């Protein structure tokens, strides 16, 4: 009986949804766990950008916010930018200019917003429908302006003839009568032809568009409109400033609208410099603040806080699953009933503060455990499998990132027998950003100051736990992993010197 219950507990871990969009809204609301004051921060009416690597819970946070906003009577619009227009086709077609592709992106985004608002206007009776529909009509007009771009030819042909004919006839009758007649005839002809050749192109007029958006906001008062834009980094990097500029000029200044954007920090480009101005959004100025889920989920200073967060996360996620599986009463504490000894702290350590990684590693560990409690060995094996299955694939697509990770592993793991190191902030290359996005490197601390060189700032990194375990698969090193402690005199890595020596 006990083994059957344990089997159900392990199976519950395997059935947790891996992605937030695959669960229904009520489940998302019930399973959401906020790190610290994150929930209060994103629930403010300020425009915000929510940064976080893949798997840190950006989508879950936005969908949870969607649920909260809807309960208060406001109107949330959630848009997954991966599904807007033709992201994989037209937007990626480099044969077209960025301006052409960017304009089409703006039109497609506005069309998606219009469709959601029109559906709301048709179903709701709590707003001024006439005012909202007039605002939506104005929004369509401003967003679908078309101009013909190309050459213009004009042909004018004038032809004419004037014919005059005059005749007079006088006749005298025998009896003294007379008859006279005259005829005049005139004709004229002229033609004018204008030929215009070119292609029709959309153009977005920010002035009328801003007024239309304000009319929409006025039509739904006293409710507030929340525009939640997810997967910002899926938009091609050269087009992101165009979409950001649309928001800055026509949406952010409008009273009654709040914009939240979820993006991957090193794949997001919110502005582009022009000659005497800029295109897009200045983070911290146009958008009131930026919230980092990466920073909120770093628990290196408090292991107890990290374990409490993930204990609640797993408890919330398995509760609806266990309710359908167990006929007996559920365990008072799911984690204590499922994990043995130091296995759960090891799982929290292996997750590196990324909820999606924690869920996937736990599911793999449950597979290895079968009908037994999950042990520390199961967690380490699962972390290694998850690294080899999911994360290492990034290296096959980026040779530079593969080379940099190899240098760091040789230096930090091979020579120093550690997995933590300090890197000068100025040395954060594109390869380092790629490794962080892929969760092969993890930022533990930002802005570390070396007392001996106070003018230099460093960022503290850790090589991914799964990568580290996969390298140390045998012997005492795998059984006794060193603690992640920074030592300023030994942990600083000179990446430029390593690259030159290689």
Mean pLDDT of 299-308: 75
Residue 392: the pLDDT is 83
Rg (CA), the chain: 34
Write out the two tokens for 128.
């001024």
pLDDT above 90 covers a percentage of the chain that reads 16
Bridging pattern class, strands 189-196 and 152-159: antiparallel
Please report the beta strands in 81-215, taking only residues with DSSP state E, as ranges in sequence order: 145-149, 152-159, 171-172, 178-179, 189-196, 199-203
Residue 257: the pLDDT is 94
Is the confidence at residue 492, as pLDDT, over 50? yes
Average pLDDT in the chain: 79
44 sits in the region (left: phi over 0; alpha: psi -120 to 50; else beta) called beta
Nearest to 436 by CA among 410, 460, 452, 453: 460
Is the confidence at residue 437, as pLDDT, over 70? yes
Residue 42: the pLDDT is 84
Residue 40: the pLDDT is 77
Contact 231, 83 (CB under 8 A): no
Mean pLDDT of 207-212: 88
Mean pLDDT of 71-86: 87
Write out the two tokens for 244.
């950001």
Is the confidence at residue 315, as pLDDT, over 80? yes
Task: Annotate 134-149 with b (16+ C-beta within 10 A) or e (fewer).
Answer: bbbebbeebbeeeeee
The model's confidence at residue 214, banded by pLDDT at 50, 70 and 90, is very high
Superfamily of domain 36-146+205-296: P-loop containing nucleotide triphosphate hydrolases (3.40.50.300)
134 sits in the region (left: phi over 0; alpha: psi -120 to 50; else beta) called alpha
Residue 193: the pLDDT is 59
C-alpha to C-alpha distance for 256 and 24, rounded to whole angstroms: 28
pLDDT above 70 covers a percentage of the chain that reads 75
For residues 331 and 440, the model is more confident at 440
Task: Annotate 232-251 with b (16+ C-beta within 10 A) or e (fewer).
Answer: bbbbbeebbbbbbbbbbebb
Contact 191, 159 (CB under 8 A): yes
Contact 410, 402 (CB under 8 A): no
Is the confidence at residue 361, as pLDDT, over 90? yes
Domain parsing of the chain, residue ranges: 36-146+205-296, 148-199, 398-501
Tell me, what DSSP letter sits at residue 235?
S
C-alpha to C-alpha distance for 272 and 241, rounded to whole angstroms: 6
C-alpha to C-alpha distance for 338 and 431, rounded to whole angstroms: 39
The model's confidence at residue 201, banded by pLDDT at 50, 70 and 90, is low
Residue 386: the pLDDT is 92
- Best mean pLDDT range from 142-156, 402-416, 466-480: 402-416
- Best mean pLDDT range from 18-22, 24-28, 206-210, 474-478: 206-210
Is the confidence at residue 181, as pLDDT, over 70? no
Q: What is the pLDDT of residues 362-382, one digit of tens each?
A: 999 999 998 899 999 999 999
The model's confidence at residue 155, banded by pLDDT at 50, 70 and 90, is low
For residues 277 and 360, the model is more confident at 360
Mean pLDDT of 223-236: 92
The model's confidence at residue 130, banded by pLDDT at 50, 70 and 90, is confident
Bridging pattern class, strands 171-172 and 257-263: unpaired
- Residue 492, φ and ψ in degrees, nearest 5: -70, 130
Q: What is the pLDDT of residues 278-290, one digit of tens each?
A: 888 888 777 766 7
- Least confident piece of the model among 67-71, 131-135, 177-181: 177-181
Residue 259: the pLDDT is 93
Tell me, what DSSP letter sits at residue 90?
T
- Least confident piece of the model among 217-226, 287-296, 333-342, 391-400: 287-296
* Number of neighbouring beta carbons within 10 Å of residue 307: 17
Mean pLDDT of 33-50: 81
Is the confidence at residue 183, as pLDDT, over 60? no
C-alpha to C-alpha distance for 389 and 294, rounded to whole angstroms: 23
Task: Annotate 458-497 with b (16+ C-beta within 10 A) or e (fewer).
Answer: bbbbbbbbbbbbbbbeeeeebeebeebebeeeebbbebee
- Does the pTM surpass 0.85? The reply is no
Residue 478: the pLDDT is 46
Write out the two tokens for 487.
């030592």
C-alpha to C-alpha distance for 409 and 385, rounded to whole angstroms: 18
For residues 158 and 414, the model is more confident at 414
C-alpha to C-alpha distance for 184 and 166, rounded to whole angstroms: 5
Please report the beta strands in 221-349, taking only residues with DSSP state E, as ranges in sequence order: 225-230, 257-263, 271-273, 278-280, 289-292
């Amino acid at each position: 009986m006990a083994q059957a219950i344990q089997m159900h507990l392990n199976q519950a871990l395997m059935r947790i949804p891996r992605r937030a969009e695959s669960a229904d809204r009520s489940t998302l609301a019930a399973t959401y766990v906020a790190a610290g004051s994150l929930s209060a921060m994103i629930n403010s009416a300020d425009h915000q950008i929510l940064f976080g690597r893949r798997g840190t819970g950006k989508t879950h946070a936005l969908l949870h916010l969607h649920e909260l906003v809807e309960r208060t009577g406001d109107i949330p619009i959630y848009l997954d930018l991966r599904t807007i227009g033709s992201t994989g086709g037209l937007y990626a077609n480099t044969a077209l200019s960025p301006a052409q592709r960017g304009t089409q992106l703006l039109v497609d985004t506005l069309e998606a917003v219009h469709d959601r608002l029109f559906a709301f206007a048709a179903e709701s009776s709590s707003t001024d429908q006439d005012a909202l529909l007039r605002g939506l009509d104005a929004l369509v007009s401003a967003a679908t302006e078309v101009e013909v771009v190309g050459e213009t030819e004009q042909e004018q042909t004038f032809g004419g003839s004037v014919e005059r004919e005059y005749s007079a006839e006088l006749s005298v009758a025998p009896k003294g009568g007379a008859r006279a007649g005259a005829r005049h005839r005139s004709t004229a002809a002229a033609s004018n032809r204008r030929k215009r050749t070119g292609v029709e192109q959309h153009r977005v007029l920010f002035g009328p568009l801003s007024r239309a958006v304000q009319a929409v906001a006025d039509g739904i008062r006293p409710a507030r409109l929340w525009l939640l834009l997810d997967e910002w980094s899926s938009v091609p990097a050269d087009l992101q400033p165009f979409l950001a500029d649309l928001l800055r000029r026509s949406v952010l200044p409008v009273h009654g609208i709040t914009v939240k954007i979820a993006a991957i920090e090193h794949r997001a480009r919110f502005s582009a410099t022009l000659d005497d101005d800029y295109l897009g959004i200045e983070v911290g100025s146009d958008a009131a603040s930026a919230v980092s889920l990466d920073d909120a989920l770093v628990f290196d200073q408090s292991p107890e806080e990290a374990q409490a967060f993930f204990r609640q996360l797993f408890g919330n996620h398995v509760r609806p699953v266990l309710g359908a599986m167990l006929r007996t009463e559920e365990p008072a504490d799911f984690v204590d009933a499922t994990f043995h000894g130091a296995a759960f702290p090891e799982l929290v350590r292996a997750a590196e503060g990324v909820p999606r990684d924690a869920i996937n590693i736990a599911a793999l560990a449950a597979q290895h455990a079968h009908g037994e409690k999950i042990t520390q060995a199961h967690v380490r094996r699962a972390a290694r499998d998850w690294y080899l299955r999911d994360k290492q694939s990034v290296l096959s697509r980026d040779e530079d990132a593969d080379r940099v990770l190899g240098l760091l592993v040789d230096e930090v793991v091979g020579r120093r027998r550690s997995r933590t190191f300090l890197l000068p902030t100025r040395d954060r290359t594109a390869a380092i950003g790629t490794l962080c996005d892929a969760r092969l490197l993890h930022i533990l601390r930002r802005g570390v100051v070396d007392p001996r060189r106070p003018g230099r700032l460093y960022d503290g990194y850790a090589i991914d736990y799964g990568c580290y375990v996969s390298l140390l698969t045998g012997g005492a090193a795998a059984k006794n992993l060193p603690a992640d402690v920074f030592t300023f005199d030994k942990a600083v890595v000179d990446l430029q010197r390593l690259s030159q020596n290689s």
